[in-house]
Amino acid sequence: MMNKRFLEGMYPWHWVYQLRNSLDFPLRSLISWKRPLPALEKSTNSLPISCFPYPIQGQAKTLIQQFHLNELPLSFTDFQLGVNCYYLDVLTQVFSTIKVEWGATLRAADVGPSDWFYLPALVQFLSYHQALQAREVSLEGFEIDPYRVYADLHSRFDHAQQQCTAFPGVIYHPRAFHEQPEKYDVLIQFFPFLFLKDHLEWGLPRSLFDPEKLFGSLASSLKPGGTWVILNQGNAEHTLQKELVAVSGLKILTAFEFQSVYKHYEKSHWAMVITK
């Protein structure tokens, strides 16, 4: 078992955040703020490739065309295009190091997607990776804190639902993930909270912090031979992630530090793919 004292000892002042979160989180859940956004529409203009530095514009165009991002009924701001190219790039790097055989249909779950700002990249990658024609993708997102309200007075739920309008096979669940034995071919976790410090700083109450339990639920929900993609921030978190995998008996297919020309971070980012 993991050392829970180590996990919780990372931040001695966590009681301040805990007090705030114990009030804020239940209130957000009770109010369940929803203000529908209009369905997204495709812009008559081409994608804003010029938002990238000139030396990588050709590379970005190739990536966009490879995964048919330009064919979606969506318009992209500079930020949205940059983020989606970043995740397409990362997923491409990750899966270039392993061999997977996905069929004509794929059932996937993404745990902790926030407002699903990277949904186009995720759906298009799952649809077109090593496929000449798009496979049928059924994708579910599970967000434990969906009703956090942004400056535009719309919640994470609102923005995620707006993204989902472009993808018929996608569902956003405004709730925590629960074990669903051997249901999914693919699991996604982008930057899960493994340290209490991060968990609290992002507004979640102490009572919901149990990375071991969540890991076990996800492991049970992965089909034998399925693929589980995890991204981590920093070497310490990545090391802890590997410890979780080790005690579970699952197998690491690949694990490495990655970088992308589309977005840079001060903290190192790490990728891991596991299976059972």
Q: Which structural domains are found in the chain, ordered by start?
A: 4-275 (3.40.50.150)
Query: What is the reported pLDDT for 86?
Result: 98
Task: Sort strands 251-258 and 269-275 into parallel, antiparallel or unpaired.
Answer: antiparallel
pLDDT of residue 214: 97
pLDDT tens for residues 219-237? 999 999 999 999 999 999 9
pTM attached to this predicted model: 0.94
Query: Residue for token digits 């956003």?
Result: 172
User: How does the average pLDDT of the chain come out, rounded?
Assistant: 93
Q: Quick one: tokens of 21?
A: 């979160």
- Give me the numbers of helices (H) and strands (E) for the chain, helices first please: 9, 7
pLDDT score for 12: 63
Check if the beta carbon of residue 139 is closer than 8 Å to that of residue 108: yes
Of residues 114 and 197, more confidence is placed in 114
What's the pLDDT at 245?
A: 96
Supply the pLDDT for residue 218. Answer: 98
Q: Please report the pLDDT score of residue 15 as a whole number.
A: 78
Strand arrangement of the beta sheet that strand 136-142 belongs to: 170-173, 136-142, 105-111, 184-190, 222-233, 269-275, 251-258
Q: Strand, helix or coil at 10?
A: coil
- Is the pLDDT confidence value at 144 over 70? yes
